């Protein structure tokens, strides 16, 4: 690379290199895809824990993501499901209450929306949809307001209260996919396909980042979580915008990455962050890493030639 | 911010617009979902809920999180988790079809124990007290016992034999000299397990388990059965009325 070529590294959206191309050159394949691969392994691993029972007769986790029993000792229950049940005026047995309490405690600590990026089976679907959307060069389409999913979440609770039944379960694609895989049923494919095509053609990142009330609920649970993505080397950012391109909730990056002037800490504190770690992967300057919410340390970069010449 | 000709601040206008859009969108989707929720309360009459299931369908759907733990812990694979679009019962909820696999009435009721939410009531400890439905002899014209034969299979397989199903002996009018042993269900003892329906030898069962609201009548609250009242009262309710009045004409003198 010539100096001239390097010095033009400024955001130029028209003539951008493919996302993460530079990170891959600088860091290699593994470091550029580490968190993505770990995340896919986590999603598949959770499903595998459920599947060993019905497929091989080795029961590790019974039930579905709605409510489960691990090794006949650990009960887990989806808190949003239980909230709807309460709104429908059913007081549950202790087992479900305990299960929900454990789930809430875990995600309150480890960032609520890690459920979305590390567990939920719909995430690979919408990630794939986003990839297709990008390849086709489609425009964003319908982009509902950021608080839409909260509105939907509240609407589900109100509807549960009005109808007296757990309303979102009628269409919940997350549990429908798990039930289909574990207990059978083909119609869930239709539901998954609907979300896929909705995300490709109607609304870029429409379902997971704008509408899903389960994600909204987990976001609220983890609003003050300990585990966070931080940007200690934000001063090294070269404005390539790759992190924005891969982030499913791009608005969460700005305060941490660009907030130095406003005195904001280099920590992604927004509850919408799914802690997927994709920004860590694709950054050639290693700006981001996983840490905790009180980690406000900043690393001053060694001045590089191109910065000096700019 | 400048004012438009309508006198509405543009920021305020944008806010009102997006608020209206949100409320209208969620309202429309919510109405459709609520309608769908109503329709999902319908359940096929041969889809029987597990023991201890909350009797009111809506109450059951407020409690069941559709996790399938009851299905997993059923040792006889009796229970099925309704699949999306399966139309037997609300998607993801458990049921069984008695003619396929009836409930074996386990003493320890593992399905109820597995239920995390109490959609299957944990207060059910004695399986004989379960009321999943009740058996009804729906077609006496084809029942072999009614025809005067000694099939008796439904009676023999009944786990609550001689209480839930008895054989009532009647005169066989057709032959004029035989008895008929009529299978008779007593709903106060029938758990609705469905073993009778499963074992009926006919190609289509003559005895079927039905949900209680289809199988049972309800006596009017104000009805009194004279013979019971008389017993409670240890004697006639209206004193002085012992028998019927004498209506025979007086014998001519």
Predicted confidence at residue B6, as pLDDT, reads: 63
A4 domain-assigned: no
- Other CB atoms within 10 Å distance of the CB of residue B22: 17
Predicted confidence at residue B130, as pLDDT, reads: 93
Whether chain A has a CB inside 8 Å of the CB on B53: the answer is no
In tens, the pLDDT along A223-248 reads 999 999 999 888 888 888 889 989 99
Contact across the interface for B85 and A185, Cβ inside 8 Å: yes
- Other CB atoms within 10 Å distance of the CB of residue A137: 6
Find out whether B169 and B180 touch, Cβ atoms under 8 Å.
yes
**Rg over CA atoms, chain A:** 21
Q: Give the alpha-carbon dihedral of A203, A278, A49, B71, to 10 degrees.
A: -20
Quick one: tokens of B231?
Answer: 């017993």
In tens, the pLDDT along A163-190 reads 999 999 988 999 999 999 999 888 888 9
A259 domain-assigned: no
Predicted confidence at residue A227, as pLDDT, reads: 93
In tens, the pLDDT along A11-67 reads 555 456 788 888 888 888 898 999 999 999 999 999 999 999 899 989 999 999 999
**Distance of residue B6 Cα from the nearest chain A Cα, in angstroms:** 25
User: Can you tell me the distance from the alpha carbon of B43 to that of B82, in angstroms, rounded to the nearest whole number?
Assistant: 11
pLDDT exceeds cutoff 70 at A201: yes
Whether chain B has a CB inside 8 Å of the CB on A203: the answer is no
pLDDT exceeds cutoff 60 at B32: yes
Q: Residues 210-249, chain A: which have Cβ within 8 Å of B?
A: none
A6 domain-assigned: no
Q: Looking only at Cα atoms, what is the longest distance across chain A? A: 69
A204 domain-assigned: yes
Find out whether A64 and A178 touch, Cβ atoms under 8 Å.
yes
What does the pLDDT average to over B74-90?
89
Predicted confidence at residue A297, as pLDDT, reads: 86
Find out whether A68 and A61 touch, Cβ atoms under 8 Å.
yes
Q: How many residues does chain B have?
A: 253
In tens, the pLDDT along A71-112 reads 988 999 999 999 999 999 999 988 999 999 999 999 999 988
Predicted confidence at residue A219, as pLDDT, reads: 93
What does the pLDDT average to over B222-231?
90
Residue of B15, B32, B65 to mutate, testing the A interface (most A Cβ within 10 Å of its Cβ): B65
pLDDT tier at A277 (50, 70, 90 boundaries)? very high
Predicted confidence at residue A305, as pLDDT, reads: 54
Residues from chain B contacting residue A67 (CB–CB below 8 Å): 65, 67, 69, 116-117
Query: Which of A68, A182, A188 lies at the smallest CB-CB distance from B84?
Result: A188
Contact across the interface for B33 and A159, Cβ inside 8 Å: yes
ipTM: 0.84
Residues from chain A contacting residue B124 (CB–CB below 8 Å): none
A296 domain-assigned: no
**Distance of residue B26 Cα from the nearest chain A Cα, in angstroms:** 7
Compute the 3-state secondary structure of chain A and give helix, strand, coil in percent, each to the nearest 5: 55, 5, 35
Predicted confidence at residue A185, as pLDDT, reads: 83
In tens, the pLDDT along A287-309 reads 999 999 898 888 876 655 554 44
Percent of chain B having pLDDT more than 70?
96
Nearest Cα to A253, choosing from A219, A284, A276?
Answer: A276
pLDDT tier at A3 (50, 70, 90 boundaries)? very low
**Distance of residue A68 Cα from the nearest chain B Cα, in angstroms:** 7
Question: Residue A154 is part of which domain span?
Answer: 37-221
Contact across the interface for B118 and A151, Cβ inside 8 Å: no
Contact across the interface for B68 and A64, Cβ inside 8 Å: yes
Contact across the interface for A90 and B40, Cβ inside 8 Å: no
Question: Is B85 strand, coil or helix?
Answer: coil
Whether chain B has a CB inside 8 Å of the CB on A114: the answer is no
DSSP B120: B
Q: Residues 22-61, chain A: which have Cβ within 8 Å of B?
A: 53, 59
Backbone φ/ψ region at A205: left (φ over 0), alpha (ψ -120 to 50), beta: left
Helix axis angle for A122-135 and A187-197, nearest 10°, is 40
Q: How many CB pairs below 8 Å do chains A and B form together?
A: 153
What does the pLDDT average to over A252-260?
88
Contact across the interface for A68 and B122, Cβ inside 8 Å: no
Q: Full-prediction pTM beyond 0.95? A: no
Predicted confidence at residue A5, as pLDDT, reads: 45
A162 domain-assigned: yes
A211 domain-assigned: yes
pLDDT exceeds cutoff 80 at B13: yes
Contact across the interface for A183 and B71, Cβ inside 8 Å: yes
Number of domains observed in the structure of chain A: 1
Find out whether A177 and B84 touch, Cβ atoms under 8 Å.
no
Helix axis angle for A94-109 and A79-87, nearest 10°, is 130
pLDDT exceeds cutoff 50 at A1: no
- Other CB atoms within 10 Å distance of the CB of residue B2: 5
Query: Which of B62, B67, B83 lies at the smallest CB-CB distance from A64?
Result: B67
- Other CB atoms within 10 Å distance of the CB of residue A181: 17
**Rg over CA atoms, chain B:** 29
Question: Is B179 strand, coil or helix?
Answer: strand
Predicted confidence at residue B17, as pLDDT, reads: 86
A24 domain-assigned: no
Q: Where are the alpha helices (DSSP H) in B99-207?
A: 110-114, 153-157, 195-199
Find out whether A275 and A117 touch, Cβ atoms under 8 Å.
yes
Nearest Cα to B40, choosing from B98, B118, B93?
Answer: B93
């Amino acid at each position: 690379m010539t100096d001239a070529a390097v010095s033009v590294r400024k955001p130029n959206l028209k003539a951008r290199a493919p996302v993460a191309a530079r990170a891959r050159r600088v860091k290699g394949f593994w470091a550029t895809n580490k968190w993505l691969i770990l995340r896919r392994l986590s999603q598949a691993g959770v499903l595998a824990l459920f599947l060993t029972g019905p497929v091989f007769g080795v029961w590790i986790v019974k039930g579905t993501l709605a409510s489960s029993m691990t090794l006949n000792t650990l009960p887990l229950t989806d808190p949003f499901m239980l909230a709807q049940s309460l709104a429908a005026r059913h007081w549950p047995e202790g087992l479900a209450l305990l299960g929900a309490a454990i789930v809430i405690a875990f995600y309150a600590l480890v960032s609520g929306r890690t459920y979305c990026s590390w567990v939920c089976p719909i995430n690979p679907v919408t990630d794939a949809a986003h990839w297709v959307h990008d390849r086709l060069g489609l425009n964003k389409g319908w982009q509902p307001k950021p608080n839409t999913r909260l509105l939907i979440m509240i609407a589900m609770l109100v509807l549960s209260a009005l109808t007296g039944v757990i309303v979102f379960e009628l269409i919940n694609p997350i549990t429908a996919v798990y039930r289909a895989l574990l207990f059978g049923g083909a119609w869930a494919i239709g539901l998954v396909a609907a979300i896929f095509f909705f995300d490709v053609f109607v609304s870029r990142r429409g379902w997971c980042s704008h509408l899903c009330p389960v994600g909204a609920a987990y976001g609220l649970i983890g609003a003050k979580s300990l585990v966070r993505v931080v940007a200690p080397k934000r001063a090294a950012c070269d404005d390539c915008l790759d992190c924005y391109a891969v982030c499913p909730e791009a608005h969460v990056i700005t305060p941490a990455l660009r907030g130095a002037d406003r005195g904001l800490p280099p920590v992604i504190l927004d509850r919408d962050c799914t802690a997927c770690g994709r920004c860590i992967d694709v950054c050639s300057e290693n700006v981001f890493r996983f840490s905790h919410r009180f980690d406000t340390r900043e690393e001053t970069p060694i001045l590089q030639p191109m910065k000096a010449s700019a | 911010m400048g004012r438009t000709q309508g006198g509405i601040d543009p920021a305020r206008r944008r806010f009102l617009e997006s608020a209206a859009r949100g409320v209208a969108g969620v309202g429309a989707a919510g109405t459709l979902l609520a309608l769908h929720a109503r329709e999902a309360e319908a359940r096929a009459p041969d889809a029987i809920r597990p023991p201890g299931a909350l009797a009111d369908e809506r109450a059951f759907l407020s409690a069941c999180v559709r996790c399938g733990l009851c299905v997993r812990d059923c040792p006889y694979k009796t229970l099925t988790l309704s699949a999306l679009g399966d139309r037997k019962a609300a998607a993801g909820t458990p049921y069984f079809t008695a003619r396929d696999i009836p409930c074996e009435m386990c003493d320890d009721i593992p399905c109820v124990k597995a239920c995390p939410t109490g959609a299957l009531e944990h207060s059910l400890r004695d399986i004989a007290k379960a009321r999943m439905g009740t058996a009804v002899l729906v077609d006496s014209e084809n029942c072999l016992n009614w025809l005067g034969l000694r099939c008796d299979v439904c009676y023999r397989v009944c786990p609550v034999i001689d209480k839930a199903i008895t054989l009532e002996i009647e005169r066989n009018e057709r032959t004029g000299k035989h008895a008929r042993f009529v299978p008779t269900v007593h709903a106060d003892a029938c758990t609705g397990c469905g073993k009778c329906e499963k074992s009926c030898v006919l190609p289509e069962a003559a005895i079927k388990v039905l949900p209680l609201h289809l199988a049972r009548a309800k006596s009017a609250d104000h009805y009194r059965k004279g013979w019971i009242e008389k017993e409670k009262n240890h004697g006639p309710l209206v004193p002085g009325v012992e028998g019927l009045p004498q209506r025979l004409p007086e014998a001519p003198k």
